[in-house]
Amino acid sequence: MVVSIICAVAFAHLLNDLIQASLPAIYPLLKDNFSLSFSQIGLISLVYQITASLLQPWIGLYTDKHPKPYLLPLGMIVTLIGIGILAIAPSFTILLVAAALIGIGSSTFHPEASRVARFASGGRFGTAQSAFQVGGNSGSAIGPLLAAIIIVPYGQMAIAWFMIFAFIAVCVLFKVSQWTVKYAHKIVSNAASTQYKLQGKMLIRALVIMCILVLAKFTYIASLSNYYTFYLIDKFQVSLQHAQLYLFAFLAAVAVGTFGGGPIGDKIGRKAVIWISFLGMLPFALMLPHANLFWTVVFAMLAGLILSSAFAAMVVYAQEAVPGRVGMVAGMMFGLMFGISGIAAAALGALADQHGIEWVFKLCSFIPLLGLATVFLPKTNGKS
């Protein structure tokens, strides 16, 4: 395992997702500034998430055949531009443009950075993906905290400070791209090392079940990531800054859970980790809408910690099922993640306008039941 490269892409993932997390973290501020409805908030999420998701599999598929290592820093430059526009956006339409640019930058980052993490793993694929993903989850946790400290007290223009993080990420990713170019031949030979793959109906079944699991996981995560602050403010009358601190606690728990899932999957198998994660978090998800403030925060953290352990296992499972398509599979997994999150955010926003935010959280508590579909996943690479 090339630890320095794993750390570099994980750190870049932290910076990338820190920037992305600042967008939902300032939704209440934007809602007040532009007099937005919950549906419009959901539309901002939809534009960002769909832009980030639709391009990812195609970028991954293209770069599997025609490697373009310098897409990493170039994509981050697009993100940097999007942040600048977000800071000065005068209207709802320009907010959508800024969200789209940030999404485009994300769509180039995730499949390429995930590919580098796998190639630098030395065969410890789950561990490398966990390290990569925990960087992103850590950034997602830090983003709202920084938004509460930097943006909320000083207003929309303060988002421009986040351009510094994008610039640092550009520099880090340029160095990563140089390493990728230098060791290109070694990387290609490593990519062909998978010994087992699924075929025919078995492959189709595996991918369909995986889509159901990703749907369940990220619809639930979207409900908390995008509307947790609104839920806490509406139900418990906490302040915006306190609500964002609780969101930070939830996202920090997600980061911790992600870190543990990959190494465990390397030892006991991907399917076992996925199965344990859904069964383990289900009771907390079901109890959360009926709890007081203290237990709401505790149950949210426990649900996020346990459920998040599955994602690295999901990515590696899919890459083992379709070897030789590392970028495409990563693009599909991360793209599906963003797409589902965006669609879910828009749909949940519309439901919240109609039925209230507490009703939405009660509905979402049943979504993890879809995780029972794990029982139908076939084995890959000789592991259950």
Residue 192's pLDDT band, with cuts at 50, 70 and 90, is very low
Give mean pLDDT, residues 99-124. 86
**Domain map of the chain by residue range?**
3-376
Q: Are 333 and 318 in contact (CB under 8 A)?
A: yes
Residue 10's pLDDT band, with cuts at 50, 70 and 90, is very high
Paired tokens of 164 = 């510094």
DSSP labels for 199-258?
Answer: -HHHHHHHHHHHHHHHHHHHHHHHHHHHHHHHHHHHHH---HHHHHHHHHHHHHHHHHHH
Please tell me the predicted confidence (pLDDT) of residue 384: 47
For all residues of the chain together, what is the average pLDDT? 84
Give CA–CA dist 290/298, Å, rounded.
13
Q: Express the helix, strand and coil content of the chain in percent, nearest 5 each.
A: 85, 0, 15
Give mean pLDDT, residues 292-298. 96
Residue type, 375: V
Please tell me the predicted confidence (pLDDT) of residue 233: 92
Please name the residues in contact with 289: beta carbons below 8 A apart, sequence gap of 6 or more. Answer: 358, 361, 362, 365
CATH number of 3-376: 1.20.1250.20
Residue 298's pLDDT band, with cuts at 50, 70 and 90, is very high
Q: What is the pTM of this model?
A: 0.73
DSSP labels for 134-160?
Answer: HHHHHHHHHHHHHIIIIIHHH-GGGGG
Paired tokens of 314 = 């999901």
Burial (CB count within 10 angstroms: exposed 0-12, middle 13-18, buried 19+), residue 376: exposed
Give CA–CA dist 321/377, Å, rounded.
11
Please tell me the predicted confidence (pLDDT) of residue 379: 74
Please tell me the predicted confidence (pLDDT) of residue 300: 94
Handedness of CA 154, 155, 157, 159 (dihedral sign): positive
Nearest partner of 132 among 3, 258, 9, judged by Cα: 9
Give CA–CA dist 280/294, Å, rounded.
20
Which range among 7-11, 63-67, 126-130, 185-189 has the greatest average pLDDT? 7-11
pLDDT at 271 over 60: yes
Give CA–CA dist 283/299, Å, rounded.
9
pLDDT tens for each residue of 127-136: 888 888 888 8
Tokens 């797409």 map to which residue?
339
Please tell me the predicted confidence (pLDDT) of residue 208: 85
pLDDT tens for each residue of 70-104: 899 999 999 999 999 999 999 999 999 999 999 89
Paired tokens of 300 = 């949210």
pLDDT at 194 over 70: no
DSSP one-letter code for 322: S
Which range among 40-49, 258-267, 350-359, 372-381 has the greatest average pLDDT? 350-359
pLDDT at 184 over 60: no
pLDDT tens for each residue of 221-252: 878 878 898 999 999 999 988 898 898 888 88
Please tell me the predicted confidence (pLDDT) of residue 186: 60
pLDDT tens for each residue of 320-350: 777 777 777 777 777 766 667 667 777 888 8
Rounded (10°) CA dihedral 276, 281, 283, 287: 180
Residue type, 167: F
Give CA–CA dist 203/374, Å, rounded.
14
Rounded (10°) CA dihedral 118, 124, 125, 126: -140
Please tell me the predicted confidence (pLDDT) of residue 187: 53
pLDDT tens for each residue of 17-69: 899 888 877 888 888 888 888 888 888 878 887 787 777 888 888 888 887 88
Q: Are 105 and 79 in contact (CB under 8 A)?
A: yes
Give CA–CA dist 279/110, Å, rounded.
28
pLDDT tens for each residue of 136-169: 878 877 887 888 888 888 888 999 999 999 999 9
- Between 299 and 131, the more confident residue is 299
Q: Are 76 and 166 in contact (CB under 8 A)?
A: yes
